[in-house]
Structure formats: structure tokens, C-alpha cells
Structure 1
């Protein structure tokens, strides 16, 4: 997702904004608000499907399960390539639509794991995410030096995850989960710092509001992936 291409500007060398800047605080709160709304949409959709046997059986008891699992990945590419041509309302609508699609895919979480372990894992993932996001927001360390490594990690995880859909290998899934937690923890910090730097380059306006949607999209993906990967360690399966 090349946010540096927005408006033909290169944000990677922008001077970091002061962390106590009022406009920056509003911008970041907007990002977290958009992210929070997306998480609520996903949670409601996921729980609604899992609580409706007819729907969950139709989706996960038929070949439609492959559509549910792969549709979010296809949407990520679509959102990334078309983002620059979207209006602000269109970008917000696309984020909501993606959150709903992700909710369909995540309904299986409620079918496989107990509610208590889901709640516990969500709290742990949220604590880790918030800690790393806060660090990324406040640190003076340039995290962009890790960007290539982190993005290569994401590509590797996607490929390994697709392969394991067919292999169903427990050891491979364990390796994916360990590496994935490290990668998405790092991305939470980097994407937060990048959101701060990008805001300084844009200086407000509609472009910054649109960028806040993309930043929320990135942070949403980081958190959801972190949560799902942590479930492999802390989740308790239903009998």
C-alpha cells in the first residue's frame, strides 16, 4: 500500500510532527476512531454469522468457505490500487465494506474457540498493539529502516498461509504464528509513526482526512492479524 504516492508527494523524508501538535492529535484520534468503527463492524458481523447456524453452515460447511477466507486478501489489493482514485466518502465506505467482509471470514473464530479465550486474547492483543502504537507515535527512532524487512515478512506470511490452507500443517502454522506476531507488532509501531510523518507532509485538509482512512485501514489489518495469530497460542478450542 503505497501511501507515499498520494498527491505525488514523497512523505518518507518529511520532518516528524511534534507529538503535542493539536492538529496531529485530532488526526490520530480520527485514525483510531475509523479503526475502532471497523473493528466493531467486523465483530458484529462475525458474531452474527456464528450465532446463526443456517448462515455459518452455508458459509463454512460448503465451498463458500474458500471465498470467505480469500475475499479479504483480494479486497486488500483492490483497496490499495484504487485508493488514490477514491473520494473521501468512497474511501470510508470501502473501509466499512472491507470490515464487513473481514467479519465474515472471522466468524470461524467464534465457531472454533471459546468466548472466554477470545475475550482474553483480544485484551492481550489490544494491550500489545496499543503499547507498540504509542511507542511508534512518541519515539524519535526512525522506524522506516525496518520497513523493507517487515513488508517482506508480510509477503512471506501470505504465501506460507496460502500454502498451509492446503497442507494443514501444525508445525508450519506454529512458525507462521510466531513470525507473524513479531511482524505485525513491528508494523503497528511503524504504521503509527508513518501516519504521524505523513500528516506533517500534508498539513491537514481533505487529503489528510483521506490519508487517515488508509492509516486506519493499515492499523486495522495489523491488529486483526495480531489477534488471530495470538489465538493460535492463547485460544482454547470448543469441545
Structure 2
């Protein structure tokens, strides 16, 4: 009973965070001057990304020392910042392709999360491999920022899709095991679990958008 209760809270928090990100993206995207500022002032954009990384590591590393309310508040603040960063997507891609990619992402994410929850297979080894692959992917992304190779970009996109499909199943199983162990308070566990799955969903969406997104007319 506790596991199902925790998992419901995980998915609820994750869903609310996605709504917050979407609302923030639309709000910023509705202000042309603001999106233009973000697009032309790369130092602001990269500054936001750095702040986001700091917040993710702060929440992940300090969740056991935070109150449930503080951890949840930081998580939703992170979702807002993500929405600000993602507002540029609406400048690059058509709304129809964004919506289509979102539906595809939701379907793939849902299927893999269900698999991760119900499978009797231990996904620990796969998860360890996927996190190593993710580290390699980040290195490739940094290299390609300076190299700008189109073929490598497509390889990165395909690898990103596969990695986050696998991580969705792994992280779901991991959160379920945390809930079974009772090693963390329910409110904190729901937040850190929602953050993990939120990151999987968002990154899967971004990589799929490279394949299914179409430019604005």
C-alpha cells in the first residue's frame, strides 16, 4: 500500500512539474521581446542552464536534509526555470510538431515506466551502463558544440533517445525499491522520484523533437 501511495505522489508531482514548465514556456514565449533577449544573449541562457544544474544536484544531494516542503518548492522552481529555457523551442519548431512529439514522448515514457514498475528483472546493471553512456553522451555534446558535425549530431540524438528510454524504466524501478525499503520519508521520496522521472521525460522529449520537430513557417 505504501509503495502505490508513494508512486501516485511521484507521478502527480512529476505531472504538475510538467504543467508548470509548459505554463512558464508559454508565458515567456508570449513575450517576443523576452524570447529575443534569451536568443541573443547566450550568457543569460547558459547562466540559466548552470543554475538548473546546481539546483538538480542540490535537490538530489540534499533532499534528506531538507524538509519535504523545501524540496518540493525547489523542484517546482526548477520546473519554472526549465520552462523559461524551453520557451525558445516555440521559436524554432511549429506548435503542431511540438504537440505531436509530446504525445509520442508520453506514450513511450508511459510504456517504459510501466515496464520498470512491473518487471521482475533487476535493471541495476543496465542502469549503471546507461549512466556511463550518458556521461559519454555529454562529452560528445560538448565536443560537437565546437565541431558542429551534422552526422555526430544525429548520432547524439539517437543515442539520447535510447539512453532516456532505458533510464525511464530503470529510474521507475529504483524509485519503487526506495519506497519498499522505507529509507526516506514519503514526501522527500516523492520529490526526488518525481525529479528523476521528470528529467527522463524532458530529455526524451528534447531528443525526440530533433527527429519529429518541424521548423516554423
- TM-score normalised to structure 1 length: 0.85
TM superposition shift of 1:153: 1.5
2:15 alignment counterpart? 36
1:225 alignment counterpart? 203
Q: Per the alignment, in what secondary structure is the counterpart of residue 96 of structure 1?
A: helix
Distance 1:45 1:161 in 2: 26
Residue of 119, 122, 125 corresponding to 2:102: 122
How do 1:1-239 and structure 2 match up within 5 A?
22-63=1-42, 64-202=44-182, 207-239=185-217
Distance 1:110 1:25 in 2: 36
Q: Per the alignment, in what secondary structure is the counterpart of residue 185 of structure 2?
A: helix
TM superposition shift of 1:25: 1.6
Change (3 A) 1:23 1:82: closer
- TM-score normalised to structure 2 length: 0.93
Q: Which runs of 4+ in 1 moved over 6 A?
A: none
Aligned length: 216
2:75·2:195 contact (CA, 8 Å) conserved in 1? yes
Distance 1:196 1:69 in 2: 29
TM superposition shift of 1:62: 1.4
Unaligned regions of 5+ residues in structure 2, if any? none
TM superposition shift of 1:171: 1.8
Distance 1:182 1:99 in 2: 24
* RMSD value, Cα: 1.6
TM superposition shift of 1:49: 1.1
Unaligned regions of 5+ residues in structure 1, if any? 1-21
